[in-house]
Structure 1
Amino acid sequence: MNIFTLEDIQVSFNGETALDIGRLDIAPGAVTALSGPNGAGKTTLLRVMAGLLRPDRGRAAYMGEPVAYGGGGAGHRRRVSLLHQDPFMFRGRVIANVAFGEIARGRSQSDAEGKALLALEQAGCAHLAERSAAALSGGERKRVALARSLATGAEALLLDEPSAGVDAENTGRMRDVIASLAESGKTIIMSTHQPDWAAPIADVSVRLAYGKIDPSG
């Protein structure tokens, strides 16, 4: 079974078509790279899959069940996490940022921070646990935000431009982390304007242009 299936998806903003997808299937456990120029529809597509943007038309399904928009779909929302291009960090320690979601769900602080530390290790940044979130570089902030998604137990990670605004050293680290997560069974769907950066780890590449899938790839 595909982890995501999108059929006849259309999204418009102010009368302009932003997304027009006839059919897109995403296999579980794979790395899917969405490439294309700015305005191609990559972020819009991720938001539809995350349940944050209801399409004007069409059907989006996660594991065969309709993606829930609005306040419902707790199961889908716990299993799917969107990492924004410029992730927000709370004030305080990195580990508190990563543990926040689990504490909000009622887990004790000690249990949540234990889970957060494991997630930081998966994201390759356990050494940042006690650092102030305000002191993080752009690349470090993205990996910490990725750890925050992992701490929730998400199965599918939607990454919006994970290499954007990051120095060469940290883009390499991020790529290694993504490859490791895919090997562990996570499904990764990432947008990028750097297809050459994504190519070594992408199982599937989908190019978007003007909101549509470009058949030329």
Structure 2
Amino acid sequence: MTPPLISLFNVRQRYSGRTVLSVDRLDITPGSIVGLAGPNGSGKSTLLRLLAFLEPPASGTMTFEGSPASSSSSPGPVHRQVTLLVQEPYLLRRSVHGNVAYGLKVRGETDVTARVNAALEAVGLDAERFARRQWFELSGGEAQRVALAARLVLRPKALLMDEPTASLDSSSAALVRQAALAARSRYNTALVIASHDMAWLHAVCDHVLHLENGLIIEQKTLKKSEEMK
């Protein structure tokens, strides 16, 4: 039996002695789409950072593909498979091509240019027009799409998204959504999406978790037509 991609067992997270997140059990399965809903400060971002293995929990156990996995802000083996896209894009001080190609070059991958161009096209950016642009020449929506392309090019097993469309215009938001769903279809990438856009979450997610005061107070399993998947 295939184990969950990521599992949390009796996980608690505390900051300055205050418990901000408490999860008894959570499984993220390969290819699933999980939504995180709840007010600001409910624990969604903290949960995403834990799922991305960017910080260790105060207590509890986390596994990746059935094996215990350590958390660290420094890149490690798990970070090659799990990636987080935050609301405010962080780009390296280099060209669009350089940003998207960075992870591939670190891994020693080949055929970098072709994969970079495909990733840019996936987020609606014409490679011929955008590849040579510098990071400071991009609009907010373009920068977020470049940041997403830099993650999609790695073909991660899990893509975590923290309010990925909150500050985007409707056109850029639609392209980000489409690109994330395409990664799920092409590479069986699991998606975990924190968003206030409940219509989107209910349209695409298999499950929506509602958080409040660091607790999962409700979990909805959604039935969707094949056209929405």
* 2:94–2:135 CA contact under 8 A, matched in 1: yes
For residues 61-81 of structure 1, the C-alpha deviation after alignment (integer angstroms, 9 at most, x for no partner) is: 111111222388833111111
Q: Which amino acid aligns with 2:192?
A: I
Match of 1:124 in 2: 124
User: Which residues in structure 2 correspond to 1:1-217 (within 5 Å)?
Assistant: 1-70=3-72, 74-107=76-109, 111-127=111-127, 128-184=130-186, 185-215=188-218
Distance 1:18 1:196, change over 3 A: same
For residues 125 and 10 of structure 1, the distance between their equivalents in structure 2, rounded to whole angstroms, comes to 40
Residue 104 (structure 1) shift:
3.0
TM-score by length of 2: 0.85
Distance change >3 Å, CA 42–CA 107, structure 1 → 2: same
Structure 1: tracts of 5 or more residues without a match: none
**Cα distance change, pair 120–40 in 1 and its aligned pair in 2 (3 A):** same
C-alpha distance in structure 2 between counterparts of 1:49 and 1:158, whole Å: 8
Q: Secondary structure at the match of 2:204?
A: coil
Bigger drift between 183-192 and 146-155 goes to: 146-155
Describe the SS at the equivalent of 1:215: strand
Are the counterparts in 1 of residues 123 and 175 from structure 2 also a CA contact under 8 Å?
A: no
Aligned identity (percent) is: 34
Letter in 2 for 1:189: V
Change beyond 3 A, Cα 1:116–1:43 = same
Q: Which runs of 5+ in 2 are unaligned?
A: 221-229
| Aligned equivalents of 2:27, 2:108: Cα separation in 1 | 35
What is the CA–CA distance in structure 1 between the aligned matches of 2:73 and 2:205, rounded to whole Å? 32
One-letter identity of the residue aligned with 1:117: N
Q: Distance in 2 between matches of 1:5 and 1:46?
A: 13
On the 8 A contact 1:78/1:153 being kept in 2, the answer is no
Mapped to 2, the partners of 1:31 and 1:42 lie a distance apart of 15
**How far apart are 1:107 and its partner, in Å?**
4.6
Aligned residues: 215
Structure 2 distance, partners of 1:68, 1:175, is 30
In the TM superposition, residue 52 of structure 1 has moved relative to its aligned partner by 0.9
